[in-house]
Structure 1
Amino acid sequence: MWLAGALLSFQVASHFANEVIDNSLLQLADSLARQVHVEDDKVVARYPEATHLLLDAPQDDQLLYAISGPDGQKILGNFSFPTSPEPRQTPGSEPAYRNLMQLPSPVRMVSVYYPLDKTGQGQTRWIHVEAARSLASRNHLSRQIMLTIALPLGGLLVVMSFLVWLGINRGLRPLNGLQRLVEKRTPQDQAPFELSHAPQELHALAKALTQLLSTTHESVARQRRFIADAAHQLRTPLAGLKSQTELAMRETEPEQLRARLHMVHTSATRSIHLVNQLLTLARSEPGTQSGMPRVKVDLARLIRDLTAESVPRALAAGMDLGCDTALTEAVIEGNSALLRELFVNLVENAIKYIPRGGNITVRLTEDDTRYVVEVEDSGSGIPDDDKPRVFERFYRREQTGNGCGLGMAIVKEIAERHGGSVTLLDAKPHGLIVHVELPKEQRRLPA
């Protein structure tokens, strides 16, 4: 801005100095031209003696002039101006200004044609007046104008620079304080950042940082909890698998060895099921959806297909499995793999935990804003006190079967990731209804 201010001052000063000098030269040329007359068909210039003395007097800013008649001959003057290299000026054209730098003292000159009289053929005769003065006067005037402009402008720039420096320092002071708070913050500290006398924008930044740290802490806590749960749950089946393998290696009787290998196979199957459930739970947790594909999923078709696939297992367990829906299409936007896992867990849990001869019905309905999927069974149901605990990880009401206590936790996580909910209701006259609601409108899966 200092450089721009200096350049602006120089340009303004040069412009006005040129205007002043050019106007004075044009006025001088006009005055000289008015003194030229025609007497006895001769062009003469009559000046008072005082004017001659004034024009020709030696001075620092001496005036140079020359007057030429219609025939191009010099009538009067104290200097012979060189011919201009530019295209020749014609009579009647506008005054021409130029700088003569090849002289010992550079000058600024004007060249003007003035009408003198008309000839018998109606043609106009012209006189040519040239006047000049030293560029030193123009430069002196430029410096005076530039100083007049530059001094207040320079003072203004100094004051402005100081105010900018002061404002930036005051504005960045709270940001520096926030930087120190962040540097001193320990990973375990989740207290909000406290900033006093800070602008509103910085309070918003501090709030965003606090939310980010809280979200990061929750994500790390979830990962630690998952690792701890997985290690705890895998330790027992793997230890059992190792023990069964060691006992099988000691057996010499084929029948005993076959029985041990059957137990090893059962333990390995349970371990594989547990690992698969843990991986599904990890995929359905918050923070893992950004990389999961989201597509349009037809719930009606998905439920009909899953029910048909589960019929053989239901028949083998002595149960009646059916699908009840009047909807031909129920499209939502979500993750197809996770939604499939949700309903597979519900159907398999019903097959696994109700007695033989029971009935299972998968039902799909809708209202204005949501789709409702219900899996109803005719088992013994779940007491109201235990219903909230069913959704806890690794909670099992019964120790029979090969379950690991993750099925309903997975169902709850997946439903919530799709903006829905899951609740447990009592069936009439007895049994359990797992009630899942999923919104119709397309919404982004929570991060």
Structure 2
Amino acid sequence: MTITRAPTGQAGVSLARQLLMWLLLPQLVLWMAGGVVTYRFAAGYANQAIDASLLQASRSLARQLKPIGNGLLIDFPKAAQDILEADPQDRLLYTVSSPPGQFILGNQALPPPPVQIPPRATAPQQAPTTHLLDTPYFYDGTMPPNNTHLQTLPEGQALRVVALYLSFGDGQAAPQTMLVQVARSSANREELARRILVDMLLPMSSLVLLMTLIVWLGIRAGLSPLVRLRQQVEGRAPTDLAPLQLASAPRELWSLATAINTLLAAVQNTVATQKRFIGDAAHQLRTPLAGLKSQTEIALQSATDPELRARLQRVHDSATRSAHLVNQLLTLARAEPESVMAQDRQQFDLQRMAQSVTAEWVPRALRLNIDLGMDQDADDDTTPPADSPVWIEANELLMREALSNLIDNALHYAGPGSQVTVLVRPSPLSPSTTQLEVVDNGPGIAPEDHDRVFERFVRATDTGEGCGLGLAIVKEIVERHAGRVTLFDAQPQGLGVRIELPMVQPQKPQHHP
């Protein structure tokens, strides 16, 4: 069974990360937009508070100016001035001018109000100028240069200013206009706006972080069926075609699992059909081939014509090779992954099994004039005694088939007068691994062909009557038992085949009372 791997490539961004990004990115944008809107609201609230204090200060200052005839009486004691300038970090600046622009009192450096500015309230009486009387005008400005010695703020300092136009006169003279301006640095206003912004954004940030955590946990919980599906697929053997099991899953994932199960069922049906075809074909071929061999043997015994005997002998040899090929194909079908998974495995003694198989092949080796036996007295100390068991867990029938193929190959290609030795010993590189070797002193195989001869229908020599499946069957069986098979050059000449298999501890029999 050939397993085709999916084409390798760079994996994309995980689905969980994409969902998290698409959920959190709008939240981040909205959080930033909320911060901007919050700052503007905070600045507006701070302006309202400062504007209220400026308006109160301007009206208090206006009450200290009393009209007398065509003039003004300034009743502005030092105590009142100290109250206005009590805070050195946020000192009030004030200017009184009449007519507007002609300095009377305070700091003449305050910026004048704009000519066109919408009032906050309407007034029944309008001054000759474009400004309404007794209506506060709030605006932003900066400290101009070339100030008098009364300047308390640096040049360019941002200011929040209120301008109040008032009319004064005693009724006998024409009314005049007075401009009262009170200003305060914008630093405290901005600081207040920042504090409001921070006090509002900190809880919002905590909520965003908490929401992020909740969203992440929700994504993980929502994708958990997909993780379970991936674990079921990743942890499967290539021969496990059982349906995927999902107790509860979203509709989309359920559809995917159903599609995969349908595919697995189709593959399982195809494999089963192929196995039945191979088994039926091989069994159908065995009977006529066995009959053909029997008939040719009988014909050879009764034939007297040398030419006829030669033809019958060729027919008999062809039938023998065909029967051997059919047996090899059946063994290869049993060694396929799905067949190995379906067959039972048990613990058995590899040493005992090797002795039994070797004894079965001794009569044929004697007929071929080949010395076949097991090496119980090796030169190194790693070879266990003949009665020392070597336990492995495998399918004993397939392992016997693998060893039989190795011995059969050695008898085929070693040649008359050669020696074939079977050896079981622990691996010198790993104490938990055992080695099963079949070594002959025949002509051997060229080193460049050591890997190629494990392919199906590949032979490294023209001698013998093999079909090129023996070593392929051995490799298939050994690899399905988590083992490894290699070739090596025997000394002084010949070829060795080494099978490495994991050893296990024998299970103790359970005694029930």
TM-score, with length taken from structure 1: 0.45
State TM-score, norm by structure 2. Answer: 0.40
